[in-house]
Structure 1
């Protein structure tokens, strides 16, 4: 049922449906009192008391969390029909699932740009006086704002591991998203901080390799056995450009034993060190600013603008003549990704195959940009 135009609590006028998840539906709304755009998560109308309690607890805890990479909570309330809602900051998007889909796989630098602040947010959540475990970290729940800042969202299945709080999930209850769930989640065990570390490790693997560490095919029992027993393919086999230190960190985060995984603080510090080393190896000046500008448009989901930008850039480069081949290939790669984003699959697929061949001829099989294009081609060919 559409609720566009409805006023919640006489204040929040719903304007559009944004999506669903975590036992609720998220809408864009106008806060008519403060004259700002917000996001409103409306809980399922027939939610049971346990879910209502968890929903209320989510809002209470998150309202206490102040971190630039955690979605801000503004208000909670009840609609006329009794449905509970929580009011959050509105994020322009896209989420990292869309970013990864558009890119095929992200470069090490791009991945670290998102990974470091997310890990820092986990430090804040895990080390808060009232610690919070998210339990459903995945690319879809990592959303960009208008400035490109990544924020952790959707705490609908989060938990607060304190004995004095009422347990809000039943023993043995499995909550989370299959491809990013830890072995202990599949067993239905009580989650702890290491659960989020596993999920973040799976997210980093997916961003770099173009997909999660294990394929979740078959029923729940089959998936659970796979997660508990099957080792992921080494990430360097799927993405050779990943530095050894980062590869080791990701596989440590994916350890089957929760006790063997690093803490959020250790992960953040290791990611920061890797980002510093990566920046030293590949200074920003080596990447044409015009290519960077186009990549930012793609990351923001502004595909038509990105297509125009990369087309203009490619034309300018042809007019100049003597241009660095990396810049030329990067510009053409941006054009192809823009076309995929616009839904022009047939034309974009043909151009991608041709570009991959030209890139190998110009740069060699082992060039990082060639490997990125090949990985993107592999994802789009599935």
Structure 2
């Protein structure tokens, strides 16, 4: 089939809710392309408008990690969208063939997908349907985000032409705020990307159940199992940061720009540090906070978070892992206070002991009246008028009655002098 006189359709390579995608060839420019044809939607009159919106949304983006839109038109009452052909399949196809992927491979996917989201978010566009089937791989391994069919502009008051209260997207990758019917924002795409990365590492999404409604409840209330408990071989820093992408509160997640930077510079190879106590106010004392360790930096050289690295990001409260982080942070926060309290107590006790010792030494020293016996030194009655230090202390501290009793304690004796020789005449009678 020839579309618009130049695009020759060959075989179908995908089918979604709105349309089917064909591998095609642009005979005018001589290059392979992908053509998306809108399916008949007699029961949904808004489908053509959404299809046009997809063309306008994706067409406004030009980025190596976003599928490029090349043309848009109508053929035989059917709208069509021409895009660049990404012929390496999707992540969904790769998961079906190979199962879980190595951590290093997943980091490359994470960095590229985040860069594509950065380009969209800077244009005020929220994808709203990030999932393995919409992340396409080129033959050289380059990842590109496709299918902006339910994307919306942040200033779109009509919520991308969806009915009021309707939740659009795939429940396995839906952010908690969207499960509550709130407006999707850039943080919603980051959460969905976290779900995809979790599945790439473990082979299963973070939440799964028998019904879409049950899955939505898990997004709201349940904590994801740490990937390493499911057998994923990845560094602690990677696990902690990934759980931070799955934070329940949008403001607790990193931005797409920060995700791209963190994975791109190799910080995922580091060792997770416990969450500092000053960051525990961010929605959950859990956010596994990830530090900005470089790829080759040892654990002992980890530094504080930088502006574009590690914000206090982590899973919801209530998990064993998160509780241990909270308790550890609480003990660390109390330790300096306890040390200071013990130091003050020791110093205070030593001071009291020293003062008591000095008082006792002065009080019971030989120079005080309360502990000495009668003075027998011959100079007691001839001491100079100026009192000695010990005498002045005794006078100041002894009560008057005691002083009165002490005065007559021993009368001064006359100093013995040389006997006068008697005159011979006076003693003769």
Q: Please tell me the TM-score bracket, short chain as reference.
A: 0.5 to 0.7
2:112 matched residue in structure 1: 117
Change in CA separation of 1:163 and 1:30 when aligned onto 2, cut-off 3 Å: closer
**Map 1:103-182 → 2, pairs under 5 A:** 103-128=98-123, 131-163=124-156, 167-182=160-175
SS of 1:174's partner is coil
Counterpart of 2:210 (choices 217, 221, 226) is 217
Runs of 4+ aligned residues of structure 1 deviating over 6 Å after TM superposition are none
Deviation per residue, 1:91-132 (Å, 9 max, x gap): 11221122223332111111011111111111111112xx11
Cα 1:272–1:26 shift into 2, 3 Å: same
Q: Which residue of 2 aligns with 1:36?
A: 31
Q: How many residues align?
A: 273
Deviates more, 1:187-196 or 1:166-175: 166-175
List aligned pairs for 1:194-273, cutoff 5 A: 194-218=187-211, 220-273=212-265
Distance (whole Å) between structure 1 residues aligned to residue 137 and residue 167 of structure 2: 28
Measured in 1, the distance between the counterparts of 2:266 and 2:213 equals 37
User: Matches of 1:134 and 1:62 in 2, distance apart?
Assistant: 10
Cα distance change on mapping 1:166 and 1:87 into 2, 3 Å: same
CA distance in 2, matches of 1:18, 1:73: 17
For 1:244 and 1:142, how far apart are their aligned partners in 2?
26
From 74, 83, 98, the equivalent of 2:93 is 98
Contact kept, 8 Å, 2:154 with 2:185, in 1: the verdict is yes
Give the match for residue 75 of structure 1.
Answer: 71
Runs (5+) with no aligned partner, structure 1: 1-5, 282-382
CA–CA separation in structure 1 for the residues paired with 2:156 and 2:34: 32
What TM-score results when the alignment is normalised by the length of structure 2?
Answer: 0.60
Q: Which has the higher helix share?
A: 1
Larger Rg: 2
Question: For residue 55 of structure 1, what is the aligned residue in structure 2?
Answer: 51
Partner of 2:2: 7
Judged with a 3 Å threshold, the aligned counterparts in structure 2 of structure 1 residues 174 and 33 are, in CA distance, closer, same or farther, namely same
Question: Which residue of structure 2 aligns with residue 64 of structure 1?
Answer: 60
Q: Distance in 2 between matches of 1:7 and 1:193?
A: 39
Greater RCO structure (CA 8 Å; 6+ sep): 1
Q: 2: CA distance between counterparts of 1:96 and 1:167?
A: 26
Q: Secondary structure at the match of 2:46?
A: helix
Structure 2 distance, partners of 1:163, 1:148, is 34
Aligned to 1:349: none
8 Å contact from structure 2 (residues 108, 263) kept in 1: no
**Contact residue 22 and residue 155 of structure 1 kept, 8 A:** no
Structure 2: how far apart are the matches of 1:266 and 1:191? 19
CA distance in 1, matches of 2:268, 2:230: 23
Aligned in 2, Cα 1:166/1:267: closer, same or farther, shift over 3 Å? closer
SS of the aligned residue for 2:33 comes to strand
The whole-number CA distance in structure 2 between the counterparts of 1:167 and 1:180 is: 19
TM-superposition CA deviations, 1:204-242 (whole Å, max 9, x none): 101111111111322x33222122111111112124522
Task: Kindly indicate whether the alpha-carbon contact (under 8 Å) linking 2:130 and 2:192 is maintained by their aligned counterparts in 1.
Answer: yes
Mapped partners of 2:178, 2:209: distance in 1? 14
Q: CA separation in 2, counterparts of 1:260 and 1:189?
A: 16
**Superposition RMSD in Å:** 2.1
Q: Kindly provide the CA deviation profile for residues 281-318 of structure 1, in whole angstroms up to 9, marking residues without a partner as x.
A: 6xxxxxxxxxxxxxxxxxxxxxxxxxxxxxxxxxxxxx
Match in the other structure for 2:299: none
* Cα displacement (A) at 1:277: 4.1
TM-score scaled by length of structure 1: 0.67
Q: Give the SS at the match of 1:179.
A: helix
* SS of equivalent to 2:59: helix
